[in-house]
Structure 1
Amino acid sequence: MWGGAKRETDLTAPAPRAPADDPLYDYRFRRLVPRAAWDALPDDVRRRFSKRLAGPVAATYSGEIVWTRLSASGWLLAQLCRLIGAPLPLTSGGPAPAIVAVCEDRAGGGQYWTRLYGRARGYPQLIRSAKSFAGPTGLEEHIGGGFGMALIVRAEADALVFASDHYFWQFGRRRFRLPRWLAPGSTVVTHQHLGAGYFAFDLKVTHPRFGELVNQHALFRDA
């Protein structure tokens, strides 16, 4: 997520009108991709990323981590990231049960994402992050300790893809963009439609020198 081509996002453009029969429609993800590409996505994908999670409402998804593969460098990176909240899977393995919950960040105007991943030994791993609809790409993910990454969103046939553009560290109102040599490489998260309320989640982190660091494949269903 530290590098990659940047796509210009017009954050000043008027928001697409919500369907007249759905007062809880959320256009924030929709406005990050071209209209034709969004409309070509399967209904299930568009619906999941168009929920207005107002008040106490939360969206939950249950499933399993089919596999997690960490290289030696990926394992080391995951352990170092414990200092900022352990945003990466800590061990290789699978299958394991998993639950994801998404709720609205009412103060910040974004979303909180909480992931609970089972492990072969010990307590499940808890991963928390916050998405904000801000920054030069229109979407950022904050993972703790002031660290975050800017994301580029694109629609590809039956999938919505979130690719890293760059990483940053924020202290108060000051923000510092991290240089490439400090970055773990390119991070890509794919949400792929499987039909009948099921979808696949894939996480890949690839370093330009050390190759693939993290490869995680999971299957979820609407709860």
Structure 2
Amino acid sequence: MIEFREKITPLCAKPAQPQSDAVSSRDDRFKNLLGASAWSRLPKAIQRRFSKRLLGDASLAYQGRVTQMRMNPVGRTLAFALRVIGAPLPFDRTSVGRSAVVTVTEDAATGGQFWIRQYGRAAGFPQMVGSSKRFAGPTGLEEYIGFGIGISLKLESTANGLYFVSDRYFLKLGQKRLPLPRWFCPGGLVVGHEELGGGQFRFTLELAHPLFGQLIWQDATFHDAEVIGSVPS
């Protein structure tokens, strides 16, 4: 069950940029997955953010900062081990208080979306996390993190936020989907998008294991995006 989490101080608001014709007028993919009743429960600002379909090579860039980062020993070991497949989990606690950027671009080949997250660090290059959300599979939504590894996702809503909840991890080899045994998987993943008002929202990521507890918790605050790139003439 999704619960409301503690409030945090929002960022200073940045004026929203004009969004031209790089964004189509309506995209009902997320609404259709949730259902009309659950969708109507969401704040209007979240409905607007998840009703945009980008055209051409345009991207939406959300800027913000990481506000919290926790890992227990098992979570830290897991996050570092997964760096060999592209570091799909945040691994550096020095990212707290530093800049974060999320960029969303349409994936023309699959009809989905590319999500690229960048987290600043105390030293070295920022961590880059890339994934592809595809409107496919038994739940209607999947997230691919590379090397054929994917997660079937379910959507849940509250009066304050939209949540992406892991349903099943799998490995895709060509046209075959091989469900991974649950004992082999890292636990339940919940990614939240919670409205803060004033053009700002909160991003949360929680990975929890039935035996090892909360492995990773990340919290960041972002403000509304501006469109980058061009559209077909």
* Paired-residue identity, %: 48
Alignment counterpart, residue 182 of structure 1, candidates 178, 181, 184: 184
Instruction: Tell me the residue number matched to 1:104.
Output: 106
User: What are the within-5 Å matches in structure 2 for residues 162-177 of structure 1?
Assistant: 162-177=164-179
Q: 1:40, CA displacement in angstroms?
A: 2.3
SS at match of 1:29: helix
**Matching residue's letter, 1:208:** P
CA distance in 1, matches of 2:107, 2:34: 22
Report deviation, 1:60. 1.1
Q: CA deviation at 1:30?
A: 0.6
Amino acid paired to 1:131: K
Q: TM-score, normalised by structure 2?
A: 0.84
1:109-148 paired onto structure 2 within 5 Å: 109-148=111-150
CA distance in 1, matches of 2:31, 2:199: 20
* Structure 2: runs of 5+ lacking an equivalent: 2-22, 226-233
Q: Partner of 2:26: helix, strand, or coil?
A: coil
Equivalent pair of 1:147/1:167 in contact (CA under 8 Å): yes
Query: Which 4+ runs in 1 deviate beyond 3 A?
Result: none
Q: Structure 1, unaligned stretches of length 5 or more?
A: 5-21
TM-score by length of 1: 0.88
Aligned to 2:158: 156
CA distance in 1 between counterparts of 2:73 and 2:189 reads 17
Alignment partners' CA distance in 1, 2:35 and 2:53? 20
Q: C-alpha root-mean-square deviation of aligned residues, in Å?
A: 1.4
2:53 is aligned to 52
**Cα distance in 1, alignment partners of residues 41 and 190 from structure 2:** 21
Distance 2:38 2:111 in 1: 25
Tell me, yes or no, if structure 1 residue 218 matches structure 2 residue 216.
Answer: no
Aligned equivalents of 1:208 and 1:23: distance in 2? Answer: 42
What does residue 64 of structure 2 align with? Answer: 63
Q: Give the superposition deviation at 1:23.
A: 5.0
